[in-house]
Amino acid sequence: MSIVVTGGSGQVGRSLKKILPNAVYLSSKDYDLTYELDVVKMFETYKPNVIIHLAAKVGGIIDNISKPAEYFDDNIIMNTLLLKYSLKYNVNRFIGILSTCVYPDIVENYPILESDIHLGPPTKTNFSYGYAKRSLAVQIDAYNQQYSTKYQYLIPCNLYGEYDKYGDNSHFIAALIKKIHTAKINNHDSIILFGDGNPLRQFIHSDDLAFVIKYCLDNNIYDCMNVATSENLSISDMARIAFLSCGVNKMDIIYDTSKPNGQYRKDASTKLLKEKIPSFNPIKLKDGIKKTYDYLIKNNIL
């Protein structure tokens, strides 16, 4: 079985490689997945039976707001080309990774079920990205309906982990860890966070998403489902957890309310996930941040 993982150098790809070492892990340095000839070359070279599609244009809230066309175009193009040629080259297993940004900005009932995906538009702060990733769900459903494929998408909540980006345009937990560490080594007594600290978020370690991907592959699970943790915490609570996990006993938070909060809540239901993978036991946020921070310090990344 030939398995190709796109976005293989990203945080989920690196987590997956630890438990699925025999797959081919490709990055943008190998192929430009928004360029059709590169996609064809990839399929011709590896002739995969399985595509695990992790590649995406991703970034923080400010970058999403300032570059909506890029987030839409790049994700729509690469998703469409990957699916088109997966069908043409008889790929029998396709697993695409979405995001809870695909869900409506507001729903009547929380946590959000997989069936709620089309009940309204995504949040404005991730509007283009959310619609582009939602379109991948539409495409996969359409292929399964028309061509009787068994393609699948997973909808993870926010991700974090050792292999995230810790420079500019970081995701929230990565940026939070970096801010805390910088304040800690400079003996500052506070950090600044965007918004008012009230929005609620679920965060899952990239190792846990990698586990779910491999479990679905190994156990012939084709359901399209959320991948999340039951922890749904405020930004403020997550910051205080991160302080302790990073070895900080006391530090204040200054909220910059001139910056956007983003979506107030988007917690995803884990009911289907627990039905299909009852053994799934994601790492607690406090333990995951400590694991991440210890790795970053040991490897001189911060």
Beta bridge partners of 253: 191
Selection from 284, 282, 286 nearest residue 274 by Cα: 282
* Distance separating alpha carbons of residues 29 and 14, to the nearest angstrom: 15
Helices (H) and strands (E) counted in the chain, each on its own, are 10, 12
In the numeric block, the tokens 């200054």 are attached to 254
DSSP-based three-state secondary structure for 263: coil
Packed helices 285-298 and 235-245: angle between N→C axes, nearest 10 degrees: 50
289 touches 173 (CB < 8 A): yes
How many residues does this entry show for the chain?
Answer: 302
**CA quadruple 269, 209, 294, 281: dihedral sign:** positive
In the numeric block, the tokens 């990774």 are attached to 97
Question: Which residues are annotated as catalytic?
Answer: 129
* Distance separating alpha carbons of residues 48 and 289, to the nearest angstrom: 35
